[in-house]
Amino acid sequence: MDELRWTTHGVPVLGIAGESRSGKTTLLEALIPRFTSRGLRIGVLKHAGHPLTIDQPGKDTDRLFRAGAVSVQAQDPVQRFSRQSLAADDDWRDALAAAPADLDLLLVEGYKHAPIAKIPVDSDVDRVEADIADWLVQTWSDRPTGVLLLEGGYAGVGDDPKVTTKLPPVPGIPEPLSLLLAAFRWLPDHAWVIAPTVDPGAVEAVRKLILARRPGAWSLTEPPLTLVEPQLQARAEKEGHHTNSRRPELVWCPPFSSGDKPGG
């Protein structure tokens, strides 16, 4: 089986491989601030081989969960807490699917038998950082890309995309946002090059945009084209819910990085 490098939402996913007590958590603890200092949004998925204690007995959230709620969430001004009961057949695939989509990288500790891309634990943090950075650049550029025509709502994917698939706009949301949302919902792990209309001369501009992709850059512009990474789908969905009847601008079309506040 091929190694999995992306979640279903197009987030690069990389495991830290090592035996128990080999220093995986310590390594992640050292790596995370190095990557966040680059402006990247990092997520972590940790597999626990024993029952978790993630709430305090007697607290409201714990009482509600024990009363039978399959999902309990709580939020304060700076953080959100989520607790869910799992089905008997839930596995690593479900855990990856539940991860946020607006991440530049999801690091996984555990799930050593899952066929995801992995890097071995190492006490040399500098070397691991460099290896992950190189892997992330390659994986980011390898993520599949489609082309979306705003005129007519046609889309195509592949190395030489033929824009022959007609996408129905998302009802209740004005164009062009409804067409972008339709593309994201069709293939949520793809990046999309948005073009106003058919232009045979734009092939080179498309290639230039694709070559310019880099981790943390969620949209790039090469007029009249814009490339939008899947990390912006959640922002697009949120914008769609708030547009009502007004015609929205594609607010993510100017260069947008993961350092910008999501939903801002």
Q: Which domains does the chain have, with CATH numbers?
A: 13-141 (3.40.50.300), 144-257 (no CATH)
* Upstream peptide bond of 224 is cis (omega within 30 degrees of 0): yes
More confident residue, 253 or 229: 229
Question: How does DSSP assign 5-20, residue by residue?
Answer: -B-TTS-BEEEEE--T
The answer on pLDDT for 54 being more than 90 is: no
* Upstream peptide bond of 12 is cis (omega within 30 degrees of 0): no
The answer on pLDDT for 62 being more than 60 is: yes
The answer on pLDDT for 206 being more than 90 is: no
Check residue 53 and give its pLDDT.
83
More confident residue, 45 or 164: 45
Check residue 260 and give its pLDDT.
57
The answer on pLDDT for 26 being more than 60 is: yes
The answer on pLDDT for 262 being more than 70 is: no
Task: Give the position of tokens 């070559």.
Answer: 211
Alpha carbon distance, N-terminus to C-terminus of the chain: 40
Give tens-digit pLDDT for 122-162: 999 999 999 999 999 999 999 999 989 888 888 888 656 66
Structure confidence at residue 88 as a pLDDT band (50, 70, 90):
confident
Check residue 247 and give its pLDDT.
43
Give tens-digit pLDDT for 156-182: 886 566 677 898 888 888 878 888 899
User: Strand 145-149 and strand 191-195: pairing?
Assistant: parallel
More confident residue, 243 or 230: 230
Check residue 189 and give its pLDDT.
93
The answer on pLDDT for 264 being more than 60 is: no
The answer on pLDDT for 66 being more than 70 is: yes
